[in-house]
Structure 1
Amino acid sequence: MARPSDTKTRIQAAARELFLAQGVRNTSLKQISDRLGITKPALYYHFASRDDLVRSILQPFMDELEAFVAGREPTDARRLLDDYFDLVWRHREVFMIILNDPATLAALDLVDRIWEWRRRLAALLLGPDPSAAARIRATVAFGGMSDCVVEHRALPFEEVKSVAVGAALAALAA
C-alpha cells in the first residue's frame, strides 16, 4: 500500500503531465484519478480541489522565487541574471503550464505577485529610481530569459543559459 505522501506525489506528477499536455482548464480531476487508477474521493483526500492541486504544483516555484527575491542584496547584473536563469530553468515545467493556460494565474490570484517579483528583481538590478528606459530593458532581460527556458528547453542547459544571460546583459546595457 502506498504511503499518503507517495500518492500525493503521484497525483501531482500525473496532474503536471496532463496540465502540460492539455492545459489546466481542460484537465479534470476525474482524468487525473483515472490515469492513476484511484478514485476521485482518494484524490480529494489529498487535494480539496483542482485549484488546490494546481497551487501545490506552482507553490515550490513561488516559494523559491520569493526566497530568491527576499534574500538578495543588490549585486552585479551577471550574477543576478545567472542565478535567476538557474531558478527558472529548474521550474520550466511550471512556466509551460502557465503559458499553456495563462488564465490559471488570474484564477489563483497570482498575477500581482508575479509582477511584484519582477519589480523587485528590477530594483535589485537597477537601484531605487531607474529611468523608464532602464525598467523597459530589465523587462526585456527577465522576460526574454523566462521565454528561453520554455522555448529552448530541449537544448543543453549551458548553451541556453550562456546565450540567454548574454542577451539579457546586452539588453540592459543598450
Structure 2
Amino acid sequence: MPRQRTGDTRARIQQAALELFAVQGVQQTSLRDIADRLGVTKPALYYHFASREELLNSLVEPMIADFEAYAAAQRAAAPVPPRELLGSYFDLSYRHRETIQLAIRDLSVLHELKLTDRFIGWRRTVAELLVGTEPSLSDVVRCMVALGGLSDCAVMLDHEPVSELREAAVEAAYDSLGRP
C-alpha cells in the first residue's frame, strides 16, 4: 500500500478536527480525540500540529486570507455592480461555510482568534461599496439585511444545490437593497 503524503495527512487531520470541533466544540476536543478519530498516535499528530491552537489556526487562516484579499480586491475594483458584488460575497461565504459554521457554533473561536472585529470590518467594506460612505438609516438596515441574509444562506443552507441557492440568495439580497 502506498504511503500517504504529508499534505494528505495534514488535510485528513484538519477535516477530522473540523468535524469533531463542530460536534464537541473546540475547547472540549483534545488532540487525543482527533488522533483516535484518525487511528493515529498522538505523536504522529504532533508531527503536523504542535497544539490544538495551531490546528485551529490552520483551519481559519485560509478564510482570513481570502476575506482580506476579497475586501482589498473589491475596494480596488470599485464601483462593482451590486449583483456582481453580492454574488462574489456569496461565493466567498459559501467557500468558507464549514469554518464559519465552526465559529458560529463555538463562539470561543471568534473570541480566541479575534475574528469578530475582522468579520465586522469585511462586512463594513462590502456595505460601503453597496450603499456608500454616508447612507441613510434605511439604506444601512437594507444592506445589513441583504448581507446578513446572503451569508446566512451561503453558510446554513449548504445542503441545497449551490447554483440554485446562489441565484435565489443573490436575488433576495439585491431586492433587500431596495434598488430599482
Q: Same fold (TM over 0.5)?
A: yes
> CA offset at residue 89 of structure 1?
1.2
Q: Matched residue pairs, number?
A: 174
Kindly indicate whether residue 147 of structure 2 is the aligned counterpart of residue 142 of structure 1. yes
Percent of aligned pairs with the same residue? 47
Separation in 1, partners of 2:84, 2:62: 22
Which runs of structure 2 are paired with 1:27-106 in the superposition (5 Å)?
27-72=29-74, 73-74=77-78, 75-106=80-111
Amino acid of the structure 2 residue aligned with 1:110: L
Contact 1:95–1:150 (Cα < 8 Å) also in 2:
yes
The answer for unaligned runs of 5 or more in structure 2 is none
Separation in 1, partners of 2:143, 2:51: 37
- Once the two structures are overlaid, the 10-residue window that deviates more, 75-84 or 99-108, is 99-108
The answer for unaligned runs of 5 or more in structure 1 is none
Query: What secondary structure, in the 3-state scheme, does the structure 2 residue paired with 1:143 have?
Result: helix
State the match for 1:20 in structure 2.
22
Amino acid of the structure 2 residue aligned with 1:135: V
CA RMSD of aligned residues (A): 1.6
> CA offset at residue 104 of structure 1?
0.7
2:167 aligned to which of 156, 162, 167: 162
Contact 1:14–1:35 (Cα < 8 Å) also in 2:
yes
